[in-house]
Amino acid sequence: MGAGLDFGWLSEAGYVLAHGVATTILLIAVTTLLGGALSVVAAAARRGTVAWLRGLVAGYVELIRNTPFIVQLFFIFFGLPGIGLRLDAIPAAILAMTINLSAYGTEIVRSGLDAVTAGQREAGLALGLRARTVFLRIVLPQAVRAVYPALTSQIVITMLESAVVSQIAVRDLTYEADLIQSRTFRAFETYAVVTVIYLALSLLLRRVLVAGGRRVLGQGAG
């Protein structure tokens, strides 16, 4: 093996990689907020009284969890324009990531809601609180606290899956790596460095989520 490894290109790639990291962080941050909200709404609907809505959410969860993220992404970005719905790359990526995260999030939040005893809700209603207040202030916080570690893991998984959005030319970390290696011909070294960055990002993201969870949900979460 004559060539050996060469990391000389790194000194000039710093800015480009930082830009990619920023895009990846932006994508997962927006997705976490939207996906978290959608998960709660869908989980509530899944346990609600409207039959067709329950069926709709169940179908959505099964469909998304049993197809690959990249196919969902391509369907949204390449397929939807076929019926007149054209999205730019970044909105398409965020939409695909949100839909994906929420399918898993719905099931996670639902199991959390199942874990909150009925007495909590009944006690809230008996105190004269409105049903919505009981759900948002009493049941939901307990449910989310119970399943917060699972939610955290799923968000990290979604961040790692987001590497695929480079395929629709979103300039995330993987996309920048593709560009760098096409200029330097140092594919292995480039992807090795970027893999390490992803590893650091996943550790960091987990920490941020655990710390954030403690703040919002109190001790014991995460």
State the residue for tokens 């593709």: 178
Smaller CB separation from another protein, 136 or 199: 199
Smaller CB separation from another protein, 153 or 217: 153
DSSP assignment letter at 6: -
What gap in Å lies between CA 215 and CA 209, rounded to an integer? 10
Q: How far is the CB of 182 from another protein (least distance, A)?
A: 12
Smaller CB separation from another protein, 117 or 133: 117
Smaller CB separation from another protein, 72 or 144: 72
**Whole-Å CA distances, 1 to 4, 5, 7, 191:** 7, 10, 17, 20
Q: Residue 195, interface with another protein (CB under 8 A)?
A: yes
CB atoms inside a 10 Å sphere around CB 88: 11
Q: Are 92 and 146 in contact (CB under 8 A)?
A: no
Q: How far is the CB of 140 from another protein (least distance, A)?
A: 25
Q: Residue 204, interface with another protein (CB under 8 A)?
A: no
Q: Are 144 and 151 in contact (CB under 8 A)?
A: yes
Q: Residue 184, interface with another protein (CB under 8 A)?
A: no
Q: Residue 104, interface with another protein (CB under 8 A)?
A: no
Q: Which of 70, 129, 208, 210 contacts another protein by CB under 8 A?
A: 70
Taking CB under 8 A as the binding criterion, the range among 41-49, 50-58, 127-135, 160-168 that sits at the site for another protein is 160-168
φ and ψ of 5, to 5 deg: -95, 150
Q: Residue 51, interface with another protein (CB under 8 A)?
A: no
Q: Which of 6, 22, 65, 115 contacts another protein by CB under 8 A?
A: 65
Cα-to-chain-centroid distance, residue 11: 31
Q: Residue 1, interface with another protein (CB under 8 A)?
A: yes
Q: Residue 2, interface with another protein (CB under 8 A)?
A: no
Q: Where are the alpha helices (DSSP H) in the chain?
A: 10-46, 51-65, 69-74, 89-115, 118-126, 131-133, 140-161, 173-184, 187-217
Taking CB under 8 A as the binding criterion, the range among 30-38, 71-79, 128-136, 143-151 that sits at the site for another protein is 71-79
Task: Classify residue 11 as left (phi > 0), alpha (psi -120 to 50) or beta.
Answer: alpha
Q: Residue 158, interface with another protein (CB under 8 A)?
A: no
φ and ψ of 221, to 5 deg: -80, 145
Interface with another protein by CB under 8 A: which residues? Answer: 1, 3, 5, 62-63, 65-72, 74-75, 78-83, 156, 160-164, 167, 174, 181, 187-188, 191-192, 194-195, 198-199, 202-203
